[in-house]
Structure 1
Amino acid sequence: MSHVPVDALFTPLGIAVLTVSDTRGFDEDGSGDLLVQHLSASGHSLVERRIVSDDIYQVRAVASGWIARPDIHAILVNGGTGFTVRDTTPEALTPLFDKAIEGYGELFRYYSLKIIGTATIQSRALAGVANRTLIFAMPGSPKACSMAWERIIALQLDARTRPCNFAAMVLTEVPGCASRQVTNGLGATL
């Protein structure tokens, strides 16, 4: 059962990149650089990029501000997903989610198992939707960011990915997953 038409067109999304780190600045942020390169090469637009300390409230404040912006359709968060005392990205983001995307963390760990073995159990990669903004959080290593982008995120942010993708959910003018779109009762898609 296909929800995305065969002739669907690519539609660029506005994406924000947030690096969560107590030690990195922009000169040392290879993971953030990598995500910016990937999203740009895919045809999406970088709307904003920030680095914040691994602090629940700083992460949550930045993400909350971005969620409220209509020009940001997706947020890529790298860092703070491990098990150390300072790793608080999941705790910061989870309360913001209207819906969690459990499959993202499951797929991330599945692909990661092939690369780092059972150490993948220590990854708390997660994703969710808040105010129709997609949020994908991943570990801060460049390899993890690249794998998450290439294997999962890029495909779900591409309106041409069949049978369904998340681009259709964040942009009402993008066709796809029509059976899951919400209408206002007057026939207009919300």
Structure 2
Amino acid sequence: MSESSEKHREIARARGPVRVAIVTVSDTRTPETDTNYHYLRPEIEALGHQVVGYRIIKDEPDLVDMALEEMVQLGAQVILFNGGTGIAPRDTTYDVLVRKIEKPMPGFGELFRMLSYQEVGAAAMLSRAIAGTYRRRVVISTPGSPNAVQVAWTRLIKPELEHLAWEVAR
């Protein structure tokens, strides 16, 4: 680990809790059956951070756009979308977010697909997981499968959460 990255992490940790929003994109999940939310919320709160917004929306472009804007208005520093990243005609989350993202972070999608490949093989190429910045927020979009959300959280997002929030706001 580089010395400058570790220094940035220390500064970021000292800034206090990160405000996180969760958006589940699904035509079938409800607040009771949203396993991704029930996984992420306690994970985020256990680190001392705050979940400031939560929505379940259908995979409709207008709803994805409105959810993003709502989470920005709620003051989220990091917005976690899950679902709608595949290549089926119904999967539109990626298409909306890629048009909104101001500074793409291609490394997130590349690393996520690499990690997914280790678990699901060549099917990992079907994922359109992405991340980037929008209005000085970090937007991350992963597939909706519980395993995908857990891999993204534990291996990529959780270790860099404070750092991401600090970098985009400085």
TM-score by length of 1: 0.81
2:131 touches 2:139 (CA, 8 Å); kept in 1?
A: yes
CA distance in 1, matches of 2:66, 2:40: 21
Residue of structure 1 equivalent to 2:105: 101
Amino-acid identity (%):
36
Residue of structure 2 equivalent to 1:152: 156
* Residue type at the aligned position of 2:167: M
Residue of structure 2 equivalent to 1:162: none
**Higher relative helix content:** 2
Segments ≥4 residues shifted beyond 6 Å: none
Runs of 5+ consecutive residues of structure 1 not aligned to the other structure: 159-164, 173-190
Equivalent residues in 2 for 1:15-164, closer than 5 Å? 15-69=20-74, 71-158=75-162
2:22 touches 2:54 (CA, 8 Å); kept in 1?
A: yes
CA distance in 1, matches of 2:51, 2:60: 24
* Residue type at the aligned position of 1:135: V
CA distance in 2, matches of 1:128, 1:171: 13
Shift, 1:79, TM fit: 0.4
CA change 1:95–1:150 in 2 (3 A) is same
Shift, 1:37, TM fit: 2.0
2:12 touches 2:166 (CA, 8 Å); kept in 1?
A: no
- Higher Cα Rg, which structure: 1
1:64 touches 1:96 (CA, 8 Å); kept in 2?
A: no
CA distance in 1, matches of 2:114, 2:6: 26
* Residue type at the aligned position of 2:37: G
CA distance in 1, matches of 2:23, 2:139: 10
Q: How many residues align?
A: 165
Residue of structure 1 equivalent to 2:165: 167
CA distance in 2, matches of 1:7, 1:153: 16
TM-score by length of 2: 0.90
CA distance in 2, matches of 1:59, 1:7: 34
CA change 1:168–1:54 in 2 (3 A) is same
Runs of 5+ consecutive residues of structure 2 not aligned to the other structure: none
Instruction: Please report the RMSD computed on the Cα atoms of aligned residues, expressed in angstroms.
Output: 1.7
